[in-house]
Amino acid sequence: MIVIAGMSCHFPGADGLAAFWKLIKANQSAISDPPPHRSEFIRVADELQIPVRGGYIAHENTFDADRFHIPEREALWMDPQQKLVLTHACNALEDAGLTVDALKGSRTGVFVGAMANDLAYLQFGDVARIEGVNVIGNGLCMIANRLSYELDLHGPSMTIDTACSSSLVAAHYAVRALRDFECDVAVVAGGNVILSTMLQKFYQLIGVGSPDGNCRSFSQHANGIGRAEGVGVLVLCREQDLPVSGRRRAYAAIGGSQVNHGGLTSRFTAPSIQAQVALLRQTYAQASIQPHEIAYVEGHGTGTRQGDLMEIKALQEVFQGRELACPLGAVKSLINHTEAASGMAGLIKVALMLHHEQIPASTYADSPAALLDASSPVQLIPDARSLRPHRAHHMGVSAFGLGGTNAHAVLASHRVA
């Protein structure tokens, strides 16, 4: 059994696990205007008439370069995603009861989900100014490779880009690496930082951007994607390898995970109901459970009309025949879409739910999408629920990439024998 031994995160309105759980329980939106000091970003967005409300985090001037022996000039040009992953990976390892010194030379793997680097886009516009530190500090592969280098980790090290499913796909391959004994510990991370309006403009051009910058997942008022920043890191290991100095009970176990692609659809970026249905069924079969045993689903829920509609239809097909409807939610309704890090946001949310044995109320339960009527086998729930203690509970987490790569995972309660 693969378990989540440690975690760390910084999402909008929530720097750390305790703050994130507090925000989730309170069902509190963290959407805001961008910080005033990002004046150039705001100016360009205003000129292009691009909405900039979103989920932002304070990441500037928080990186301790001396801790990692990184020269000041090199740190200046480093992708903020590298800095966030380095910092929170160390926090997550500490949370798991592991020390950086003890892991030196170990078969620890690093699996990162990332899809965009706004700093590189801004830096590389002037080729004459490019230096070696720009390249080292800004390749997506370097997010994972830098962590392996700085901590002297000798397991697999890779950055995976499948757009919005990147970090859940990274977790899937980390689980496989642990099961295949390619590594003994796996650090899984996803990050996203907004420094450019490029993706906002892209979303606007293809008709999926929210005009007011808010994700309203599975709501009748959904009007598109609102963007967000964030970072999340998990430390995974085999159950028998849980650190003696850490907690005896892990946050959760990973019962199964699967990845597939939608193949040929009506257009390149259109999702496939059939692929999502197959994905969930394959994941539940791998976890040796039936759909009626799922206590909650953390949906992808980008808040686009077509995306939410097709996801709901897929869930209804998988969960049809349930005696009690399955609760449905999406953390994007609180923090917006963290893109490559969204799988981490979902995994950490569900791990905390299992750890605290609670299902929080669904955002927009008072205005659900039309398909989520009283007969639907999946429902947004208006009130929080407690899970029955001392029972095994299973929950699903979905992440779907714009290019068609889908991922789903089952998390389960971890019980100490």
DSSP 177-201: HHHTTS-SEEEEEEEE----SHHHH
Give a yes or no: residue 204 inside a domain.
yes
CA nearest to 336, candidates 60, 31, 36? 31
The predicted pLDDT at position 74 comes to 87
pLDDT at 59 over 90: no
- In this structure, the answer to whether residues 290 and 337 fall within a common structural domain is yes
Tell me how far apart the alpha carbons of residues 407 and 175 are, in angstroms, rounded to a whole number: 13
Between residues 228 and 125, the one the model is more confident about? 228
Least confident of 352-356, 378-382, 412-416: 412-416
Domain for residue 299, yes or no? yes
- Kindly state the tokens that stand for 38: 């990002």
Structure tokens, 60: 């500037």
Q: Taking the alpha carbons of 51, 57, 62, 65 in that order, is the dihedral positive or negative? A: negative
Catalytic residue among 9, 90, 164, 215: 164
> Which element (helix H / strand E) includes 176?
helix 166-179
Q: Are residues 279 and 311 in the same domain?
A: yes
Q: Please name which of 80, 79, 82, 77 lies closest in space to residue 132, comparing C-alpha atoms.
A: 77
Tokens 């699903």 belong to 396
174's tokens: 């980390």
Helices (H), 215-335: 273-286, 305-319, 332-335
Active site residue 337: yes
- At 110, is the secondary structure helix, strand, or coil? strand
Percent of the chain with pLDDT over 90: 82
Claim to verify: residue 331 and residue 393 sit in the same structural domain: yes
Q: Which of 99-124 are b and which e, b meaning 16 or more Cβ less than 10 Å from the residue's Cβ?
A: ebeebeebbbbbbbbbbbbbbbeebe
Give the whole-angstrom CA distance, residue 406 versus residue 282: 12
Answer yes or no: do 221 and 270 share one domain.
Answer: no
Do 390 and 260 share a domain, yes or no? yes
Final residue of a structural domain among 241, 275, 303: 241
pLDDT in tens, 312-340: 999 999 999 999 999 999 999 999 999 99
How far apart are the C-alpha atoms of 87 and 78, rounded to whole Å?
A: 13
Which band of pLDDT confidence, cut at 50, 70 and 90, is reported for residue 129? low
Output the pLDDT for position 73.
84
User: How many structural domains does the chain have?
Assistant: 2
What are the respective helix, strand and coil percentages of the chain, to the nearest 5?
35, 20, 40
Residue 406 bridge partners (DSSP)? 260, 400
- Check residue 380 and give its pLDDT: 99
Residue 97 lies in a domain: yes
Point out the catalytic residue in the list 10, 172, 337, 393: 337
Instruction: Indicate if the pLDDT at residue 133 is higher than 60.
Output: no
Instruction: Report pLDDT for 117.
Output: 79
Examine the domain organization and report whether 326 and 222 are in the same domain: no
Q: What region does 140 belong to: left with phi over 0, alpha with psi -120 to 50, or beta?
A: alpha
d(CA 275, CA 317): 12
**Residue 88 covered by a domain:** yes
pLDDT digits (tens, 9 = 90+) for 273-316: 999 999 999 999 999 999 999 999 999 999 999 999 999 999 99
pLDDT at 243: 83
CA–CA distance, 378 with 300 (Å, rounded to integer):
14
* Beta bridge partners of residue 191, listed in sequence order: 231
> How, if at all, do strands 326-329 and 185-192 pair?
unpaired
417 pLDDT above the threshold of 60: no
- Whether 248 is in a domain gets the answer no
DSSP-based three-state secondary structure for 334: helix
Same-domain check for residues 89 and 157: yes
Q: Which domain holds residue 22?
A: 2-241
Cα 262 to Cα 309: distance, rounded to the nearest angstrom: 16
Query: Given this model, what pLDDT does residue 123 score?
Result: 60
Rounded CA separation 351/366 (Å): 26
Single residue among 241, 269, 301 that ends a domain in this structure: 241
Q: How high is the mean pLDDT of the chain?
A: 94
Tokens of residue 47, six digits = 């000129």
Predicted confidence at residue 313, as pLDDT, reads 99
Rounded Cα–Cα distance for residues 122 and 279 (Å) = 37
Confidence of residue 116 (pLDDT cuts 50, 70, 90): confident
Pair 128, 165 in one domain: yes
369, two tokens: 């999408």
Q: What is the largest CA-CA distance in the chain?
A: 65
Tens digit of each residue's pLDDT (9 = 90 or more) over 205-257: 999 999 999 999 999 999 999 999 999 999 999 999 988 665 667 999 999 99
The proportion of the chain whose per-residue pLDDT surpasses 70, expressed as a percent, equals 94
Which pLDDT band holds residue 391 (cuts at 50, 70, 90)? confident
pLDDT bucket at 72, cuts 50 / 70 / 90 = confident
Confidence at residue 126, expressed as pLDDT on a 0 to 100 scale: 61
Annotated catalytic residue: which of 172, 300, 393, 394? 300
DSSP 392: -
Q: Is residue 399 part of a domain?
A: yes
Give strand pairing partners of 55: 228
pTM of the model: 0.96
Helix ranges (H only) for 8-155 are 17-26, 39-48, 72-76, 80-95, 100-103, 118-123, 132-136, 141-151
Mark which of 188, 211, 241 sits at the end of a domain. 241
On whether residue 182 sits in a domain, the answer given is: yes
* Same domain, residue pair 275 and 201: no
Three-state secondary structure call for residue 376: coil
Rounded distance between C-alpha atoms, residue 351 and residue 297, angstroms: 12
Shared domain check, 68 and 39: yes
Structure tokens at 217: 């997942």
Is residue 417, in this structure, part of any structural domain at all? no
Do 263 and 226 have their domain in common? no
120: confidence class by pLDDT, cuts 50, 70, 90:
low
Nearest to residue 188, comparing CAs of 103, 89, 115, 104?
A: 89
Same domain (yes/no): 229, 87:
yes
The CATH number assigned to the domain holding 275 equals 3.40.47.10
